[in-house]
Amino acid sequence: MSAQKIAFIGLGIMGLPMAVNLVRAGHTVTGYNRSPQRVDALVGKGGLRGGSVADAVADADVVITMVPDSPDVEAVLTGEGGVYESAKPGTLVIDMSTIRPDIARTLAATGAERGFRVLDAPVSGGEAGAIEAKLSIMVGGAQEDFDAARPVFDVLGTTPVLVGPSGAGQTVKAANQLIVAGHLQLLAEALVFLEAHGVETEAGLEVLGGGLAGSTVLQRKGKGMRERDFEPGFRIALHDKDMRIITDSATAAGVAIPLGSQVAQYVAALKNQGHGGLDHSALLKIVEQLSGRDQ
C-alpha cells in the first residue's frame, strides 16, 4: 500500500488509537484536536501536529473526521477555516463520527458540489476495537470512493463494508447502537438476576458466552460490569446522543422500536443523573436502582 498524507481531526478515545495505527502502517498523519494533549500523544507516536483544521488538511490526500456529534462535523467540514474551505479539491473526506443520516447526506452533497469525494463511515468496536484495529466500518457513498478508501479502512478495521449511498453508513450505525444498547441492558439484567440468586457470575457468564446468548458485548463488557468498573470505552453521553438519533430516525420512518425506546430512556436517565462520563455498560446501575439493590 502506498503511503498517503492523512489529516485526522478528532483524537478522542477512538480517534487517537486509529490515527496511531495509520502512522504505524506508514502513512504521514497530521492530527488536530481541541485538546492539544491528544495531539502531543499522536506526535509522540510519530504523527505530525496540525495547528488548526485548515493547517492539518491543507496538503492532505485523505481527511478523516472523528468528532462527537452532528454539529461538530458540520463545523469541521463547512465552518470557517474548515475542511471544505481549506483542503484541496479532489481530497477524499471520510467522516467516521456517528451523526444523523440526513446530516451525512447533506454534507456529502455539499462536499461534492465543492469537488470533494465524501464518505460517511462510522465504526463499531469501541476503544478496544480501535486499539486492536478490529473495527467494523459501515460506509455510505460511491463505490469508486469506497475503493479509494479501502486501503485506509483495512488498516483500521476487519470489516469495512459499503452498505449503500451517502447516509447509509450512518443508518446502519444507528441500528448497531440500538442492538448494542439492548444487549447491554439485558446483560445488566442477567447479572443482577444471577447475583440475586447467589450464582458465581464469572462462571455464569463463561457458560452463557459459549452458547446462543454469547456476544461481543458479553465478551468485552461482562468483566467490567461484574466488577462495577465503568472506565469509559464508550461514554453514556455519546450513547445517549446515538439513541436520540435512532429514535428520531425511527419516528421519521414510522417504525416502532418499543424495546429500543425503553432502553433509550434508561440511557438518558443515567446521563441526567450525572453519569454521562461512565462507560455505557453502566446501564447496570439502572437495573440495580429498579431492583432496590443499588448501594
For residues 123 and 147, give the distance between their C-alpha atoms in angstroms, rounded to a whole number: 17
Supply 177's cell numbers.
447502537
Q: All 3 cell numbers of residue 205?
A: 457468564
pLDDT lower than 70: segments of the chain: 1, 295
The pLDDT tens digits for 220-242 are 999 999 999 999 989 999 999 99
pLDDT for 53 equals 98
Mind telling me the catalytic residues?
173
| Model pLDDT, residue 2 | 82
The pTM is what? 0.93
Q: Are 74 and 105 in contact (CB under 8 A)?
A: no
**Placement of cell 446502519 in the chain:** 172
The reported pLDDT for the residue numbered 294 is: 85
What local confidence, expressed as pLDDT, does residue 295 receive? 65
pLDDT in tens, 18-67: 999 999 999 999 999 999 999 999 999 999 999 999 999 999 999 999 99
